[in-house]
Amino acid sequence: MNDLANVIHEAFRIAQSGRPGPVVVDVPKDVQFAKGRYTPLKGHPIRESYRPAVQGNADAIEAAVQLMANARRPILYTGGGVINSGDEATRLLRELVGLTNFPITSTLMGLGCYPASGKNWLGMLGMHGSYEANMAMHDCDVMVCIGARFDDRITGRVDAFSPNSTKIHIDIDPSSINKTIHVDVPILGDVAHVLEEMVRAWRALPAEKPSLDEWWSNIDRWRGRDCFAYTPNKDVIMPQYALERLNAAVKGRDFYITTEVGQHQMWAAQFFEFEEPKRWMTSGGLGTMGYGLPAALGVQIAHPEALVIDVAGDASIQMCIQEMAAAIQHNAPVKIFIMNNQYMGMVRQWQQLLHGNRLSHSYTEAMPDFVKLAEAYGAEGIYCDDPADLDDAIQRMIDSPKPVIFDCRVANLANCFPMIPSGRAHNDMLLPDEANDEAVATAIDAKGRQLV
């Protein structure tokens, strides 16, 4: 029993240090009912078996900076590890971008580590990322991966991933380095510590470096493709339009966005513009439907004066809808913005791509009345299905002092583009203006279907 306090302190240290993650503490029944001595946090012993390296190897950092200094087509590929490392890592990353003038992209989990309004920002990369980010990743000559793990939603076809680049990888988790993609300069360490040394080394370099003008010209040409384009409809709310209007409504406010998992999650990543880290909470690797509402509750309790919105799908929100009771009980005015298309949208999209549009259990005919459901909990319910009424309805949601469930009826069969079809390389994207029925039907070949 006297060891319990030390074990709990150590569990929290392990969960928060290195690559953050859950820690299971098994407390037997006899210990639960016993009495013992409490050890303060300051005095608890740290287990030597878990001490992640934080300082990067100096020679590796020097080699990385030399490669960066000689690059003609560089890119910074950032991930959630930058945000997990802390505010200092974000500050140093932004300083590095300013010093180098390198283009920067981010994974789903890294959104906000560099401001969306920054001139070097290419948007999110990966399966549903921007055309310019994916093309730059494919064509770069030096790639600096910072706190990301080369997962399959980023790499596309592994043997065709950024084939002509020299790769630098900064990560605190040794198991992530060389796991999927071979890198030329691995740097094991904490992002903030490594970036501090990189910035110092870059400042010490001679002023003369290769021009990036031609590289930026290529990027501007790729930016010219409106890869998030969609066809507006005056009668039906397009999902992209709904999130454009929601993003416009929250701009300049103290806001946080959580999501469930599915098409709405990808559209939210595409259309929200985050200027700061830790404003975007979403389930990445695990892809957990039902994550958004409990996450929104936690954020609202931590930031009681902020605007907290859970962008949800009509299927995902029903995984944890009972947490509305907690929102009411604890006076947490979370806003649930449901993109209601009456489908499990991403499941339906994949069934269209992989199975010739033979749909199975992805359409929900018996959908609850979300306005009545909100009222049953004691929250406010809002319904909107007309594009002309959307702005006023969003403002009503924002202005409400109560928890809100907003039932936003969007186009049923809209697909999320752009998209790197499974089995394809980064430079082989399916863009919205190319996504006719035939292109969608043939986007993924037999080999690509095996990878899903």
Antiparallel, parallel or unpaired: β 185-188 and 380-384: unpaired
Single pTM value for the model: 0.93
Kindly give, in sequence order, each residue whose CB lies less than 8 Å from that of residue 106, ignoring residues fewer than 6 positions away.
77, 78, 79, 113, 114, 124, 125
Give the best-scoring range by mean pLDDT among 39-53, 263-277, 416-430: 263-277
Q: Which residues make beta-bridge pairs with 74?
A: 142
Mean pLDDT across the chain, nearest whole number? Answer: 93
DSSP string, 312-342: EETTGGGGSGGGHHHHHHTT---EEEEEE-S
The CATH architecture of the domain made up of 239-409 is 3-Layer(aba) Sandwich (3.40)
The answer to whether the 58-223 and 239-409 domains have the same CATH topology is yes
pLDDT of residue 410: 97
- Rounded percentage of the chain residues whose pLDDT exceeds 90: 78
**Domain spans in the chain, listed from the N-terminal domain onward:** 4-43, 58-223, 239-409
Q: Has residue 452 got a pLDDT over 60? A: no
Instruction: State the alpha helices, DSSP H only, in 151-277.
Output: 152-155, 191-203, 213-223, 239-250, 263-271
pLDDT of residue 421: 85
Cβ(110)–Cβ(143) below 8 Å = no
Give the whole-angstrom CA distance, residue 367 versus residue 339: 13
Kindly give, in sequence order, each residue whose CB lies less than 8 Å from that of residue 19, ignoring residues fewer than 6 positions away.
52, 81, 84, 171, 172, 173, 176
Cβ(342)–Cβ(414) below 8 Å = no
- pLDDT grade, residue 448 (50/70/90)? low
Tell me which of 62 and 45 has the higher pLDDT: 62
pLDDT of residue 202: 97
Sign of CA dihedral 165, 171, 175, 176: negative
Give the whole-angstrom CA distance, residue 409 versus residue 42: 53
Kindly give, in sequence order, each residue whose CB lies less than 8 Å from that of residue 275, ignoring residues fewer than 6 positions away.
112, 115, 116, 117
Q: What is the pLDDT of residues 363-388, one digit of tens each?
A: 888 899 999 999 999 999 999 999 99
Which residue, chain included where needed, has tokens 């904490």? 190
Sheet hosting strand 255-259, strand order edge to edge:
280-281, 255-259, 307-313, 335-340, 404-409, 380-384
Output the CATH code of domain 58-223: 3.40.50.1220
User: What's the rounded mean pLDDT across residues 31-35?
Assistant: 93
Q: Has residue 450 got a pLDDT over 60? A: no
pLDDT of residue 96: 98
- Determine which of 7-11, 189-193, 274-278 has the lowest per-residue pLDDT on average: 7-11
